[in-house]
Structure formats: C-alpha cells, structure tokens
A = this chain, B = another copy of it.
Amino acid sequence: MSFDLENYMDARRAEVEEALDRYLPAGQSYPGSLHKAMRYSVFSGGKRFRPILCLASFGASGGKGRGVMPVACAIELIHTYSLIHDDLPCMDDDDLRRGRPTNHKVFGEAIAVLAGDALLTHAIELVVTVAGRELGSETCLRLLEDITRAIGVDGMVAGQVVDMESEGTKAGEETVSYIHSRKTGALIASTARCGAIAAGADGATIQKMGAYGEKVGLAFQITDDILDVEGGFGELKSGAGLDSQKQKATYPSVHGLQRSKTIAAGLIAEAKAVIADLAEPGLPLMGLADIVVRRVS
C-alpha cells in the first residue's frame, strides 16, 4: 500500500483553495472593507488541515461526489472566524498570525469583529444552501447540529473563555485539558465526524471518526503549545514564546516539554489504532495524524 501523502495533501489543498474562493463573495463586493477583511484572513497561508481532514474522513467513510466540499470549507471559515476574534486586542492581543499582521492590525478592530461575525454566518449559510442541496436536508441538519455544538457554549467559545481567564493563574491539568478539548479539539473532532456524516456513514463509523478526531485534535493543540516553546510558528500561534509570556495554560506548562511530546505521540498512535481497520481508504487519515506530531519530532 504505497501512498503519497504530500501529493494527496497538495491536490486536496488546491481543491479547497479553489472552492473557498468560489464560496466567498468576490473581494470587490460592497462593502469593500468587510469583504477584503474576510478574504485577507481566509487566504493567509493556512495549511487547510481541517478541510483536508474533512475530505479524508469523507473518503474513508465511503463518501462519493463533491457534496462534502461546502462542509469542509464552512469549517475552515469557522476556524478563521475564531482566529480573528481570538487575536483581538481585548482577547489574546496578537499582532501577527502566520507571520502576517493580524486582521485588526490591517482593517481595524471593528471590521475584524464584523469579519469574524460574517465568516461564521456565511459558513452556516454555506452548509444550509450548498451542502443542503447536495446532501439532503436530513444530513445537512445532522452536520449543523454537530458543528454548532462543537463551536458553542460547551465547545470552542467556552474553551476560549477559560483559556483567557486562566492566564496568569497557574492552571492545573484539569483546566488545561478542558481548554484544549474545547478550544481546538472539539472542532477537529467534529470535522472528522462531519466527513462521515456527509458520506452517509452509519453511527459506528461516525463515532469512530469522532474518536480519531478527538485524539488528533488534542495532539494538534499540544504540538502547537510545544512549537510555541521551541520557537517554530504553529498553526494557531502568532510567534514563539508568547504563551509563557502570557502565562497561558498549556501542556508544556503543566507537564513539561518532554512529557508533552510523549503524550502527543501517544495520542497519535491511539488515533491511528482507532482507524487501523480501514486499510487503504484510511491512508490519508493515517498520514494526517502523522503530520500533526511530525511538526515537533
């Protein structure tokens, strides 16, 4: 079973870029500042980990056709909205994201807040309209239920609240785990489940994808924390060492660097074990899991 992960990633990424461009209103739409701000952050060099994960889970669950693409792109828009709001001066107050000025640095705070609001709203509209047409209304509602649960008051938003409120408090293991599972983990787990839901998979497959996604999502956040300490640019962070400057609740701060790496590697091994029985259709998911820890090994 030879599988060219690089090639797979590049091909899916190109599809995602093309679809995102198509699903977003044109950059010259009125009002210009809003659309420019939305596009600035959506097309800012993201690796498209989540949409590719969604496509990979769809394929591994027996999905055919392109009905999953609006779902994959909606999740990327939601991820982007969360980054724009997290970077705001009143939140993490970050000037850089992936080496470029953050949205509010370029467009001002008001437009940044509204661009985030618009991306979230547009993502839901995208699932409702495009995915609804292609996948049917029952499937569409299951997707929306999963996604909104992952990003709401017991998901991503809650994770960001606790993350912010834990700054400087020397948070313990339980708090760090709460933050990570919700702030990053919940949407990544939902992404993996949504691929299966869009494919019309049975409950067991959806659950399996969710279990895989939870482990990958947690490992993703842990490796991002590690990258912050070690000086690389993570997917989520703006620069090196910011977490410790801000006394953020992170895995390295609670478990130390070496043990954090061991935990991340263990989670990835577990995630791969969950999908081991998928054989060839599961290879992209195997590869995506490997990529997460490869960033810090």
Contacts and interface: CB of A to CB of B under 8 A. Distances in A.
Interface of A: 25, 29-31, 33-35, 38, 85, 88, 90-91, 108-111, 113-114, 116-118, 120-122, 124-125, 128-129, 132, 137-138, 140-141, 144-145, 148-149, 151-154, 157-158, 160-162, 164-165
21 contacts: A31-B161, A31-B162, A31-B165, A34-B157, A38-B153, A85-B113, A85-B117, A88-B109, A90-B113, A91-B113, A117-B120, A118-B152, A120-B120, A121-B151, A124-B148, A125-B145, A125-B149, A129-B145, A132-B145, A137-B141, A144-B144
A73 B149 CA distance: 18
Given A31-B158, A91-B113, A121 B141 contact: no
Interface of A is mostly: helix
Contacts of A31: 158, 161-162, 165
A110 B157 CA distance: 11
A113 B29 CA distance: 26
A114 B160 contact: yes
A115 to B, nearest CB: 9
A181 to B, nearest CB: 13
Contacts of A140: 137, 141
A161 B165 CA distance: 30
A172 to B, nearest CB: 15
Contact of A90 (B108, B151, B165): B108
Most B CB contacts (10 A, CB to CB) among A113, A129, A144 go to: A113
B33 A165 contact: yes
A17 B249 CA distance: 38
A1 to B, nearest CB: 39
Contacts of A109: 88, 90
A114 B157 contact: yes
A120 B121 CA distance: 8
B113 A113 contact: yes
